[in-house]
Structure 1
Amino acid sequence: MKKWLKSIAVISGTAFLLTGCSLFNSEEDVVVMANLPIFEASYQPKVAWQKSVGNGVDKYYSQLQPAVDSDAIYAASREGKIKAFTLKEGELLWSNDFSEHESNQLNRSARFSGGITLAMDTLFIGTENAQVLAIDKNSGELKWLSSVSGEVLAKPAYANGKVVVHTSRGELIALDSQTGEQLWSLTNKQPNLTLRGSSTPSISQGGIIYGRADGFVSAALLETGQALWQLPIARPHGATELDRIVDVDMQPVISNGQIFALAYNGNLAAIDLLKGEQLWSTKYSGFNNITLSGNRLYLTDYRGWVYAVDRRTGDQIWVNEQLSYRNVTAVTVANEYLVVGDGEGYLHWINRDTGQFAAQQKIDSNGLYKEPVTTGTHLYLLSRSGKLIAIEKPSINVE
């Protein structure tokens, strides 16, 4: 079966992954969305509160995800509205609208896209207008706005006074977190055709780890942008440009000196952080983030299958195939459950030990596009139509 779902999202410029129709006019190439799973629920999730954040992201491709700290939950809409709410009650703390900021006079709106990063009492957010904004987390007021050399579709990263963004052109750029001044840039060659997305950088031990559109995972020095090493976890192959797409769009996971990364048309790999050497590799294909909990990696692939994998060996522990082509999000761990959203607006609760369904919630018929963020007591997720929803986590804690 052709793996063209997200590739079509690249060409069309929307976030909808096409289902139920064929690109090749051949019956065997038709991709059919799986029916909603039917099962006996063993858990009943409870919504704590719900608020509105503008018009959300609508049908556009977006990685716009809320940020949370001990004070508030911060969420934004694509057109430029950003709001802060209390965690438990959802009371509005402040609201601001950047849609008509003078820098957007030649654009349709602010076009927020890169998810919110929270650091040093500041919200950092990127846009499709090739901008990075720094916003005071206590007031919502703009601290600075900087233009960069490409769309910022991925969430910025922060460390040691630097904000690092990975643009749609494959460029890695470091900005001064206080002023927005560009400190350095690192350019990487882009393939002719890529997925519409970029890898959010991860920062550890003075190094930046990020995925590239050519199938490589790379490292660079945070201080100077000097390239350190690069390792391919996918190699282009196939007869067409679509077949040869090998983007590493997910944010690399770093733990105990190891990196875990996933490529489209490639592999799930464990990499030595300092040496850039591969420790193990297993055949998987995906573009969503992966989640590490204990000795397990949880991930969704391009088909919507959900997996548990042993982080030490790459061996598969279980797989759930019942969400095929439902345009699923990445996985969020909620104590004894895993939580996955889908394009029809359902939130699926899965037993993390067995991979079996435990609960199901209809959140928003307009769809879900990004996994929830979590605190010790709640999950927070933003729907396509701009609904910000707080859901209570189960009380049992799994180590």
Structure 2
Amino acid sequence: MKKSLKQLVLLATSTLLLTGCSLFSSEEDVVTMSELPAFEATYQPKIAWQQSIGNGVDKYYSQLQPTADDEAVYVASRDGKVKAFSVKGGKLLWSNDFSDHESNKLNRSARFSGGIHLAVDTLYIGTENAQVLAIDKSNGELIWLVKVSGEVIASPVYSNGLVVVHTSRGELIALDSENGEQEWTLNNKQPNLTLRGSATPSISQGGIIYGRADGFVAAALLESGQPLWQLPVARPYGATELDRIVDADMKPVIRNGIIYVLAYNGNLVAIDLLKGQQLWERKYSGYSDIALSGSSLYLTDYRGYLYAVDRTSGEEIWANKQLAYRNVTGVTVANEYIVVGDGEGYLHWVDRDTGEFVAQQELDSDGIYMQPFEARQYLYLQTRSGDLVAIEKPSINK
């Protein structure tokens, strides 16, 4: 009974955060999605090509996102299809279906969920079935598949021969990139109630930095998993477990030895990488990835408000609140603009300097759930219904 109740609350929490709807029936507790912003467009985005990936992610929570190099873009569907398309023209280069792999016989499907990570000549991807796969990027053939101790919702990361995954149980697990053998595990205690998600780690200067469900950002040695430091960026408060959710679920951004991280019911914080000391903090609450370009950080909060913040001081540059409760994604930089998707399937283009809208595209009526992946020439966007869209980037680069 206790387990069932917990699952129900977790589901309700995810519904609240992903749809912007209230858990309560009283009128004052219900939030309303903002109308689509109306403005005079000053930029016309161009779609270079579009291809189908598979059945999409339906209504499931997912962190699936494409990755790319100069020759190809690689993408996966939740049900187990992995495909590579040529950057020029979107021609299908290869396709492989892992849904029938013997390891999935007792599962509903492959349930890919952690976005693809590309390292040298190999693709790494995680699943809700607690698996990690290594796939040859040249032909889509499976190199190895291993079982781990929890769902891999976040994208794996690679450095110096190690593939590191952050599981839904809060563990960091390092695998040998050649054969998938486990090298070390770092356990972290999980709160009773968390958001449906895990933070993708970042690797820098021999350390791995990651956000935790207890509101801490922590660092460990990549080689051994030995903890280095931990720092709270959100502290639980409130009368209920729901009030006390403090996940730091976004991928830490690192520039010049400084870490930038955002937490739900917490803060936007700048941290010295080597010392683990806080440099500044500002009161923002969110769970989506932030972007850094030039001297500015760009982020969306849990309400869908969009902000630009000075990365050296944390001072707010501008705020745009016109996308409130539209289930806005994290932010991607596209040269002089930034872009965010929303739950109704629109991609919004915003001037980096002013926060004003310059364009919008309706791409998928089923919705956009993750921000586009930025490559040299295109933004690659994966939609909820299973389309891969290559969008040309503006030519000017600030």
- Give the shorter-chain TM-score range: over 0.9
Q: CA deviation at 1:14?
A: 6.6
Aligned to 2:198: 198
2:359 paired with 1:321: no
2:30 paired with 1:40: no
Contact 1:212 1:247 in 2 (8 A): yes
Decide whether aligned partners of structure 1 residues 127 and 18 sit closer, same or farther in structure 2, where only a CA change above 3 A counts: closer
**Aligned partner letter, 1:51:** Q
Q: CA deviation at 1:120?
A: 2.2
Q: CA deviation at 1:16?
A: 8.0
CA deviation profile, 1:335-366 (whole Å, cap 9, x unmatched): 11111100000000001100000001000000
Q: CA–CA distance in 1 between the matches of 2:117 and 2:388?
A: 17
Aligned to 2:265: 265
Tell me the TM-score normalized by structure 1. Answer: 0.96
Give unpaired runs (5+ residues) of structure 1.
Answer: 1-6
Q: CA deviation at 1:396?
A: 1.5
Aligned residues: 392
Aligned to 1:3: none
Aligned to 1:180: 180
Decide whether aligned partners of structure 1 residues 207 and 101 sit closer, same or farther in structure 2, where only a CA change above 3 A counts: same
CA deviation profile, 1:145-203 (whole Å, cap 9, x unmatched): 01000000000010000000000000000000000000000000000000000010101
Aligned to 2:3: none
Contact 2:16 2:22 in 1 (8 A): no
**Aligned partner letter, 1:118:** L
Decide whether aligned partners of structure 1 residues 115 and 8 sit closer, same or farther in structure 2, where only a CA change above 3 A counts: farther
Of 298-307 and 22-31, more deviation after overlay is shown by 22-31
Decide whether aligned partners of structure 1 residues 271 and 129 sit closer, same or farther in structure 2, where only a CA change above 3 A counts: same
Q: CA–CA distance in 2 between the matches of 1:229 and 1:352?
A: 34
**Aligned partner letter, 1:356:** E
**Aligned partner letter, 1:62:** S
Aligned to 2:99: 99
2:123 paired with 1:123: yes
Q: After TM superposition, where is structure 1 displaced by more than 2 Å over at least 4 residues in a row? A: 7-10, 12-22
Q: CA–CA distance in 2 between the matches of 1:205 and 1:41?
A: 43
Q: CA–CA distance in 2 between the matches of 1:28 and 1:104?
A: 45
Contact 1:16 1:60 in 2 (8 A): no
Decide whether aligned partners of structure 1 residues 268 and 255 sit closer, same or farther in structure 2, where only a CA change above 3 A counts: same
Q: CA deviation at 1:26?
A: 1.8
Aligned to 1:73: 73
2:297 paired with 1:297: yes
Q: CA deviation at 1:54?
A: 0.5
Q: CA deviation at 1:397?
A: 1.7
Q: CA–CA distance in 2 between the matches of 1:300 and 1:255?
A: 20
Q: CA–CA distance in 2 between the matches of 1:136 and 1:12?
A: 39
Q: CA–CA distance in 2 between the matches of 1:258 and 1:359?
A: 33
Aligned to 2:155: 155
Tell me the TM-score normalized by structure 2. Answer: 0.96
Decide whether aligned partners of structure 1 residues 144 and 18 sit closer, same or farther in structure 2, where only a CA change above 3 A counts: closer
Q: CA deviation at 1:8?
A: 8.8
2:339 paired with 1:377: no
Contact 1:154 1:167 in 2 (8 A): yes
Q: CA deviation at 1:9?
A: 9.1
Q: CA–CA distance in 2 between the matches of 1:390 and 1:41?
A: 20
Give unpaired runs (5+ residues) of structure 2.
Answer: 1-6
Aligned to 2:4: none
CA deviation profile, 1:57-113 (whole Å, cap 9, x unmatched): 111000000010112000000000010001120000000000110000000000000
**Aligned partner letter, 1:67:** T
Matched position secondary structure for 2:103: helix
**Aligned partner letter, 2:244:** R
**Aligned partner letter, 2:176:** D
Q: CA–CA distance in 2 between the matches of 1:16 and 1:231?
A: 28
Q: How many percent of aligned residue pairs carry the same amino acid?
A: 73
**Aligned partner letter, 2:354:** T
Q: CA–CA distance in 1 between the matches of 2:370 and 2:112?
A: 14
**Aligned partner letter, 2:228:** L
Decide whether aligned partners of structure 1 residues 190 and 276 sit closer, same or farther in structure 2, where only a CA change above 3 A counts: same
Q: CA–CA distance in 1 between the matches of 2:13 and 2:99?
A: 20
Spell out the pairing of 1:1-399 with structure 2 (5 A cutoff): 10-12=10-12, 17=17, 19=19, 21-398=21-398
**Aligned partner letter, 2:336:** E
Decide whether aligned partners of structure 1 residues 374 and 15 sit closer, same or farther in structure 2, where only a CA change above 3 A counts: farther
